[in-house]
Structure 1
């Protein structure tokens, strides 16, 4: 199917409208809580993208749910970038030793590769209007939850350059508006923009920063993609777009501008300055708390004529970021075996917020090679933020969690296949540890062809006191409803010793059996 090139947000909205994937809402709506609630109800029903044309307190319309379905992602990008990556990997695997045949196979990819990159342009729609100084309160930033600490840019495209070598980073780090000229920047310690600021702060320098909002759909996805630190996000944006990304100089100097962005906010992040940022209802489904973060001091703002403000709403999965994450996994997963030898398949589960749970199928050619492969995964870029990693060498699809879990439980040897790593660096959004960025993670392995046990599938017998409503949900996995921890702190220990439960490899203690087993996603 022919896929037209999409150079900006307007191109994409035209396609969505033509495909009846865009609902235009002319009724006045409020960016404080109301837009977010409408968005949540629509995405829960598998509904379309939403263009709010009459936003209280702002002259700019708001569009949300741009990528909230697999179909809309296909409309945005088609199969072109996925085909390119698959063909590139296949070529690299076949080029050793090189031959004329393999070199001839490279010609089409070389042609596509020449279309990847940046190009300068004198025509930059983003420069059509300007504000000196910036007036951020005119932008329709969303407040998504009652507990949020303020209004946030929820699709921020934060551009910085390394203070020493000018390597760039484009990341999606949430932005909390304080007033017309200042915002908080939620730079996490494990992310590229945070590295740039750390280096600038060591030098006693302010870090120049450009906040883009809107633009080509490819730009938005490139900012989210978990790329290795040295791979430039703007190149990925060009690959996704299918053509070179247009850049224009800022008349006032500094970073070049993405020509087709809807908004570009310029400024600096000074060293040593912090302000409270948050709380914010994040993609794990609970609040990330208020902490001290760097401050973005704006100098000026550019925007297109009749600019459109894109936003998203995050919360308990599945939300819009679930579909984006799955698309990026499909795009990048063929590269994993190239950069992580021995890893044959890797899946992070969007139902858990991606970082919480991952699974891998690996080679286990010598005893415990799988363990080394697991450590390799936990040491790779943003995969290092994984909370729980499941490893197998079985010929199964690890993306099928029910099959994976059953296969692993049939083979795990608990005394040697479960590893807990304490006192390690963790995701800033992980609040299960003793303090921010500190905590633990685990790796579970189920290896070999031979099963170690047959798994129970039905429960009969008694339960400990304070336990009710046992329900086998998956083979070998029993869900049990229990009393609050304060009422019986020893309940978990009592369960492990109860005679009628010793045959179950995994027992999940919950406060609602019905809620925990309503679906695989709820589990």
Structure 2
């Protein structure tokens, strides 16, 4: 966290979680938040105490109005709706919409954010299974006559979205071959009382589903809604298959994550989740899903998608529903930070001179990568560009800059391109590579019903915006005023302009 934010808000100590003992009942034992743990409720309480939570205590419509209010507050305050669609379950959005807040939740300076995430990804902690009946997420259990529309305040976000969507649910499933879990966030359209269509991109969850479907089996899943920011972030880690992201969450917490076994299947979910939807992805069943406004700030088309049949809904007493407004900062940063940490580690293995990376907001925190590099030999920057393209198929544009350029400042990067880059010398273009299927520019020239193997074909562009290793005199020496970074303006600048007014009153005409 930067100095200004630290002075304004104070560091999050990890001991601010709410404690709310619950009475014994047939469904639960007495329960309280664990001391020292970061939970969603504890994090929201901390944000509220430091002026970063806005409570909307008037009814708002679930269709568009809720998302519109959350969008206006995005990046400045968390939106907490007490009467969404006149429901009793509140909705929260935007509690991870600034990099500084995420670093604060981790307990590190913003500059150490990527290193902290990388350390957790490389040293995961096995989860701790909570005994039956002790999981907060299972205080209330619904298994009969489930109606998701009646139970949960599920918003419709963008103008042309085809109905209400779950956008902040951690989808958890087990590898049918090994039993190891995977965690991801997938968009889920709720189009029936107990049926949902889910987008499966060609990643681990999709591989699990195809394995189960190949032998005619359904795939058991759980969707955990309303978890703490560290567990949310861990869900987006880029790992090899058969690495449980909940174990990375444990490492980020500094202790094994408490998990509970679902009531209708064997999936393990965060014990402190607010809401859990249990179900199974049906084999050989597809139903329409979409259009939906995605992170590139365009709509994806309606297509036939896999279907989840709901078998149970469990939740805490007085649960909170979390929704992510698509294409806004919470959505973008959740994808950016784990990718940046993975990309930095990948690049540094081959190029130790790489010092920092940043997925720019203008590149929707997925497509444009800026790399800070300590160049020692000519040509190295182009190797870094090629290495970055191979690290993740989403990367569409790479800019490599010197160590005197701040890759988190768009004006700095643009200045480097303007003064250190020549297109006929420093441009790298690669055509016909795999890119993001959600990038609408990759569909140009393709038929509307193009098969999956033709979707997302993209050109890649790299810009070497580094100065020469050796240059004459001060041609590439950056203009600098000595002492400018040490000036104490608070000590030098007067609190008012009375001295200036007195100067004007003198005979200076």
Please indicate the TM-score interval, normalised by the length of the shorter structure. 0.7 to 0.9
CA contact (8 A) 1:152 1:174 kept: yes
* Aligned counterpart in structure 2 of residue 446 of structure 1, from 449, 465, 468: 465
Deviation at 1:145, TM superposition (A): 1.6
1:167 equivalent in alignment to 2:175: no
Distance in 2 (CA, whole Å) between partners of 1:227 and 1:351 is 25
Please name the residue that 1:119 is paired with.
Answer: 128
Partner of 1:483: none
Give 2:154's aligned residue: 141
Check the 8 A contact 1:337/1:345 in 2, yes or no: no
Shift of 1:335: 3.4
How is 1:232-247 mapped onto 2 (pairs within 5 angstroms)? 232-247=244-259
Deviation of 1:31 (Å): 0.9
* Distance verdict in 2 for CA 1:450–1:77, change over 3 Å: same
**Cα distance change, pair 446–327 in 1 and its aligned pair in 2 (3 A):** closer
Change in Cα spacing, 1:393 to 1:8, as seen in structure 2 (3 Å) is closer
- Provide the residue aligned with 1:485 in structure 2: none
Cα distance change on mapping 1:414 and 1:87 into 2, 3 Å: closer
Residue 75 of structure 1: how far off its partner (Å): 4.8
**Where does residue 67 of structure 2 map in the other structure?**
36
| Aligned pairs (5 A) from 1:193-342 | 193-227=205-239, 229=241, 231-315=243-327, 319-324=329-334, 328=338, 335-342=345-352
Residue 322 of structure 1 and its aligned partner are, at CA, apart by: 4.2
Cα 1:55–1:198 change in 2 (3 A) is same
What's the TM-score once normalised by structure 2's chain length? 0.74
**Is it true that 1:368 corresponds to 2:379 in the alignment?**
yes
Q: CA deviation at 1:201?
A: 3.4
> Does 1:26 find its partner at 2:57?
yes
For 2:197, the equivalent position in structure 1 comes to 184
Task: Give distance in 1, aligned partners of 2:116 and 2:37.
Answer: 22
Residue aligned with 1:293, SS: strand
Alpha-carbon contact 1:377-1:384 (below 8 Å) kept: no
Cα distance, 1:88–1:75 mapped onto 2, change above 3 Å: closer
- Work out whether 1:60 is the aligned partner of 2:89: yes
Question: Residues 409-424 of structure 1 correspond to what in structure 2 (within 5 A)?
Answer: 409-424=418-433
Contact 1:126 1:302 in 2 (8 A): yes
CA distance in 2, matches of 1:173, 1:438: 22
Aligned equivalents of 2:331, 2:378: Cα separation in 1: 38
Shift of 1:84: 9.3
**Contact 1:363-1:369 within 8 A present in 2 as well:** no
Q: Is the 8 A contact 1:155 1:310 kept in 2?
A: yes
Give the Cα–Cα distance (whole angstroms) in 1 for the partners of residues 110 and 257 of structure 2. Answer: 15
1:86 & 1:338 partners in 2: Cα distance? Answer: 12
Aligned residues: 426
Deviations 1:318-338 (A, max 9, x none): x33345456557766763454
After TM superposition, the score normalised by the length of structure 1 is 0.73
- Preserved contact between residue 49 and residue 66 of structure 1 (Cα < 8 Å): yes
Residue 397 in structure 1 maps to residue 417 in structure 2 = no
Tell me if 1:346 matches 2:354: no
**Given that residues 356 and 386 in structure 1 are in contact (C-alpha distance below 8 angstroms), is that contact kept between their aligned partners in structure 2?**
yes
Alignment partner, residue 505 of structure 1: none
| CA apart distance, 1:142 | 1.0
Give 2:141's aligned residue: 130
Residue 350 of structure 1 and its aligned partner are, at CA, apart by 1.9
Q: Does residue 1:359 correspond to 2:378, yes or no? A: no
- 1:336–1:344 contact (8 Å) kept in structure 2: no
Structure 1 residue runs without a partner (length 5+)? 93-108, 456-523
Q: CA deviation at 1:231?
A: 4.3
**Deviations for 1:81-134, whole angstroms, at most 9, x for unmatched residues?**
986974898xx9xxxxxxxxxxxxxxxx9xx979x3311212101111122243
Change (3 A) 1:451 1:298: farther
CA contact (8 A) 2:103 2:113 kept: no
1:325 and 1:350 in contact (8 A); partners too: no
1:241 CA displacement: 2.3
Pair 1:431–1:450, CA change in 2 (3 A): farther
Quote the residue 1:509 is aligned against: none
Aligned to 2:416: 407
- Structure 2 SS opposite 1:379: helix
Structure 2 counterpart of 1:386, from 395, 399, 402 = 395
SS at match of 2:284: coil
Name 2:27's counterpart in structure 1: none
**38, 41, 55: which one aligns with 1:10:** 41
CA distance in 2, matches of 1:119, 1:81: 29
Give the structure 1 partner of residue 171 of structure 2: 158
Partner of 1:95: none
> Structure 1 residues 87 and 279 mapped into 2: Cα distance closer, same or farther (>3 Å)?
closer
Q: What is the CA distance between 1:218 and its match in structure 2? A: 1.8
The secondary structure found in structure 2 opposite 1:433 is helix
Give secondary structure in 1 for the equivalent of 2:384: helix
Q: Mean alpha-carbon deviation: is it higher for 76-85 or for 293-302? A: 76-85
Structure 1 equivalent of residue 485 of structure 2: none
**Cα-Cα RMSD:** 3.3
Change (3 A) 1:67 1:88: closer
Partner secondary structure for residue 12 of structure 1: helix
How far did 1:158 drift? 0.7
CA deviation after TM superposition for structure 1 residue 24, in Å: 2.5
Pair 293,121 (structure 1): closer, same or farther in 2 beyond 3 Å: same
In structure 2, relative to structure 1, the CA distance for the partners of 1:371 and 1:29 (3 Å cut) is same
The whole-number CA distance in structure 1 between the counterparts of 2:100 and 2:402 is 33
